[in-house]
A and B are shown apart, each in its own frame.
Chain A
Amino acid sequence: MTSEANEPLSPSKILIVDDNAQNRELLVAYVEGIPNVRTREAANGLEALAVVAQDPPDLILLDIMMPRMSGFEVCRRLKSDPRTRDIPVLMVTALDEVGDHERAIDSGTDEFLTKPVDRAELVERVNGLLRLRRVKSRGEADAADRPEAR
């Protein structure tokens, strides 16, 4: 755990994954209104996994319907990897079927939002997940700092 993860004033990194450039642009505009947030974009699932491996974000906004690799599969891979499973994932999708909601939960997503995205709701969910992430990271850093029991 880096000291940066334990520092409340360091910016939060959000990765926005959507194959539609206009959707990404809209989501970037929404979340960049939040103080202390930096965004990065990926246009498909494979690119997202590469970005996460290189520079793990604090939160991922993930579209479901993407070519080559669906958001469900991206989420499953992230949540099955111990290095990335604690990164919160907020799925954003045009789908609104009960089955899709269940598939999203099965894939391990932390929360789920349906398009068209309400800006205030998105900001509220993003902030909530970022706060939880901070608390968790701080707890891990504290545990790492504690001397091992003899």
Chain B
Amino acid sequence: MSQNPADYLSLPLERFLSDVASRRPSPGGGSVAAAAGALSAALACMVLEYTAGKKRHAEHAERLGALLEELKRARGLFAQLIREDVAAYERYAAARASPDPAEPARALATAVAVPMEIAAVAEAVGRRLDEVKSFVSPALYSDVQAAGILAHAAAESAGCTAGGNLAALPDRAEAGRLEQQLAAILSRSQAHRDAVLAFRPSS
């Protein structure tokens, strides 16, 4: 069992930044990707908080409210995924010394699955930004764009972490299937970001 990862949500941001910058392997790229995703989701929540209750969107109020709840959930998930990424790395690093012969393979599978989940949640946030873009006032649209950029950055950087770990999977057929899955997630994520950036809101 690895040492419990720090609960960065209850610590000052400076602690997370210092730990990332330190000469230690974790938190690393996966955790940073999740943190970027959390910022994206938080910014998207702010935009929805201003947008969902507007009278002119009354007929879409239910859907906008649901989107806000989903983005809050995404924010919580990213926060959890920061911890999971640290834990997955530490588990993988410790697995070789485990008396359980199945542990190294399980630890590697988790080290692949966690960044893939970060990419998937980031794509889900991007999809919601893409959906909500036409409801947002011009005054808030730069926040939608920033959130869209961050969501895709989270997906792409988590994809890099996942890709590095996939390279170590001994089952190359399974690795190939997961690479395809990841490529599909990243392709959709990029399309959402591009759509958000290309959109021009009207007042």
Measured CB to CB, the residues of A under 8 A from B are 7-9, 11, 34-36, 105, 111, 118, 120-121, 124, 127-128, 131-132, 134-135, 138-139, 142
Which positions 14-43 of chain B face chain A at CB distance < 8 Å? none
User: Which residues of the partner chain A approach B102 to less than 8 Å between Cβ atoms?
Assistant: 105
**Closest residue on chain B to residue A37 by CB atoms:** B80
List 15 other contacts, CB 8 Å, given A8-B123, A105-B102, A120-B4: A8-B77, A8-B117, A8-B120, A9-B77, A35-B77, A36-B73, A124-B84, A127-B80, A128-B113, A131-B110, A131-B113, A132-B110, A134-B117, A134-B120, A142-B180
- Complex-state Cα separation, A124 to B184, whole angstroms: 27
User: Which residues of the partner chain A approach B129 to less than 8 Å between Cβ atoms?
Assistant: none
Partner of B80, one of A35, A121, A132: A35
User: Which residues of the partner chain B approach A35 to less than 8 Å between Cβ atoms?
Assistant: 73, 76-77, 79-80
**Closest residue on chain B to residue A119 by CB atoms:** B4
User: Which residues of the partner chain A approach B121 to less than 8 Å between Cβ atoms?
Assistant: 8-9
User: Which residues of the partner chain A approach B87 to less than 8 Å between Cβ atoms?
Assistant: 124, 127-128
User: Which residues of the partner chain B approach A36 to less than 8 Å between Cβ atoms?
Assistant: 73, 76-77, 80
Determine which residue in A36, A127, A135 has the highest number of CB atoms from chain B within 10 A of its CB, and name it. A135
- Complex-state Cα separation, A118 to B177, whole angstroms: 34
Can you list 17 A-B contacts (CB < 8 A)?
Answer: A9-B73, A9-B77, A9-B124, A35-B73, A118-B1, A120-B1, A120-B4, A124-B1, A124-B87, A131-B84, A132-B109, A132-B110, A134-B117, A135-B116, A135-B181, A139-B177, A142-B184
Q: CB distance B120 to A138 under 8 Å?
A: yes
- Complex-state Cα separation, A131 to B77, whole angstroms: 11
User: Which residues of the partner chain A approach B84 to less than 8 Å between Cβ atoms?
Assistant: 124, 127-128, 131
Q: CB distance B178 to A139 under 8 Å?
A: yes
Q: Is the CB of B136 closer than 8 A to any CB of chain A?
A: no
Nearest chain A CB to B150's CB is how many angstroms away? 17
- Nearest 5 pairs of A and B residues by beta carbon: A35-B76, A131-B113, A128-B110, A8-B120, A120-B4
- Complex-state Cα separation, A12 to B70, whole angstroms: 14
- Complex-state Cα separation, A15 to B180, whole angstroms: 31
User: Which residues of the partner chain B approach A7 to less than 8 Å between Cβ atoms?
Assistant: 124
Q: CB distance B74 to A9 under 8 Å?
A: yes
Q: CB distance B91 to A124 under 8 Å?
A: yes
**Closest residue on chain B to residue A127 by CB atoms:** B84
User: Which residues of the partner chain A approach B79 to less than 8 Å between Cβ atoms?
Assistant: 35
**Closest residue on chain B to residue A136 by CB atoms:** B113
Partner of B112, one of A9, A11, A105, A135: A135
Which positions 155-181 of chain B face chain A at CB distance < 8 Å? 177-178, 180-181
